[in-house]
Structure 1
């Protein structure tokens, strides 16, 4: 009898023939090839009327493939470790009684070995699929980077930067990148969804009035000219980002306006990221 299960393949209080249950349990286990499992609570009733209640963790790897696998795994582990000094609990009466019962059940070890072979095959298949998927992801990322670099180079070659310009005022809008972030490990990524070259600057000083004025050069950033709708961020310390302007609710994501200095006087365009040119920069 199944008292309850996390798997939809079993219904509460269902009564199964033993062999049918073992086959279905194996199917459920094989649906969990990555280490997960479905907790399943059962009572096995034998021909002499005796019962065995237990919880099965139906899954691959070190989990259960069925009742027989569950019992024989306990038995084999006991046989391998019960004589060890630090395993005194295995020599307690209730443990020895359990091992005696498993011996009495005369479970089909050949069937269990066949089930384990199927599980190993499924695990290997899934592993190969995952590795192939990772290779495809790496290939796709590399191709995306190559295309972006090619577009950026073409964009930079098309720029007509004045000789007097020493820096560019750049606005970027970023958002949370859920696809490449992993909250479980604290790895939060952002992605840039828009970049605007707002203005060229004659100096490299990070002045907020100049940044606010440049914001008027594009309708998407015009609101940042208003001091009530923007914040002046000052990170003038080691590893800080210097002075930059953001929208009020900015917290790693949103609009940000900064000044990008031209570090290479012979190739100023190299410092300008791929983006949209405000009218004054065209």
Structure 2
């Protein structure tokens, strides 16, 4: 890197014109190396992408000024003014002969910028160390994300196992009539913000309440039967009213599904449906863990 520049001008101070980072104040003046250290710390605050735009005016010992915008961040973004300038020079040296980048050879302003940067004297060792630090910051942040995901999966597995154990214990206490061929269940769900990843299209729903409303003597899905069962629990009584509920008959699709729901239901809200008992396992195993609300 030393062979690529002819250093003659020493940067003296940095004026922060504006910055997206709260670490800088507009109009604040720094000694050059003080700014470089602070800029590096700001860059390391963006280890997994993104950057803080920061507009600066650098004054050199001879009075010359250089104004530019820095993108302070990891992953190839700027760690400071020196890194910004040296990255610009390195890019030029690597690509100035590329056929698809004629502006690196023909643009007068770019040529002038490269000529200026070649005269700037920087602490090359500091820039090298700064770049290594941002790489390590990214690696650490990625490892922390992996650890976080692993802990999340382990916690979810632990909660699921606990749920299964509780459900099994609950099912063991059930006294299901011989004539029962199904159970009517109400569930209240909401959007799971913690588990969902909207930007990747991954959406999850969590069930907050499960109410066992009634046993059924048949396997048919009859909405009058579902409405009647809603009267067995205070919070589902409103679903007995046709004006406040909606009947869904979509057995195979996704979205509103099948059952009796509140009018504005779409994935989330109250849903009352029948679970029919099969023959390959005991009836109790078809009944989900929930609150019993079947009249005596």
Which range, TM-score by smaller chain? over 0.9
Match of 2:40 among 26, 44, 65: 26
Does 2:272 correspond to 1:222?
no
Q: Does 1:55 align with 2:63?
A: no
Shift in alpha-carbon separation, 1:127–1:243, aligned structure 2, 3 A: closer
Q: Deviations over 1:15-43 (max 9, x none)?
A: 22111111111111122212121100011
Instruction: Give the gaps of 5 or more residues in structure 2.
Output: 1-14
Q: Tell me the distance in 1 between the aligned counterparts of 2:260 and 2:249.
A: 9
Task: Give the direction of change, closer, same or farther, for the CA distance of 1:239–1:248 in structure 2 (3 Å limit).
Answer: closer
| Distance (whole Å) between structure 2 residues aligned to residue 232 and residue 127 of structure 1 | 47
8 Å CA contact 1:206–1:243 kept in 2: the answer is: no
Gaps of 5+ in 1: none
- Structure 2-normalised TM-score? 0.89
1:8 has 2:22 as partner: yes
C-alpha separation in 1, matches of 2:20 and 2:258:
54
Give distance in 2, aligned partners of 1:219 and 1:142. 33
The TM-score, its normalising length taken from structure 1, stands at 0.93
Query: 1:185, 1:268 → 2: CA distance?
Result: 39
Q: Is the 8 A contact 1:168 1:272 kept in 2?
A: yes
Tell me, in whole angstroms, the C-alpha distance in 2 between the residues paired with 1:208 and 1:158: 29
Does the 8 A contact of 1:7 with 1:38 survive in 2?
Answer: yes
CA shift in 2, pair 1:243/1:97, >3 Å:
closer
Task: Report Cα offsets for 1:156-198 as digits up to 9, x if no partner.
Answer: 2222212221111111111121111223234332211111111
Equivalence for 2:283: 268
Alignment size in residue pairs: 280
Determine the C-alpha separation between the residues in 2 that align with 1:108 and 1:272: 71
| 1:55-94 equivalences in 2 (<5 Å) | 55-92=69-106, 93-94=108-109
Alpha carbon RMSD of aligned pairs, Å?
Answer: 1.8
SS at match of 1:85: coil
Identify the residue that residue 293 of structure 2 maps to in structure 1.
Answer: 278
Give structure 1 regions of 4+ aligned residues with deviation exceeding 6 angstroms: none
Check 1:220–1:87 CA distance in 2 against 1; reply closer, same or farther (3 A cut).
same
For residues 181 and 197 of structure 1, do their structure 2 counterparts lie closer, same or farther at Cα, with a shift above 3 Å needed? Answer: same
Change (3 A) 1:11 1:266: closer
Q: Deviations over 1:118-159 (max 9, x none)?
A: 222222222222221111111101100110111111112222
Q: What is the deviation of 1:94?
A: 2.2
Is the 2:212–2:294 Cα contact (8 Å) retained in structure 1? no
Offset at 1:250? 2.0
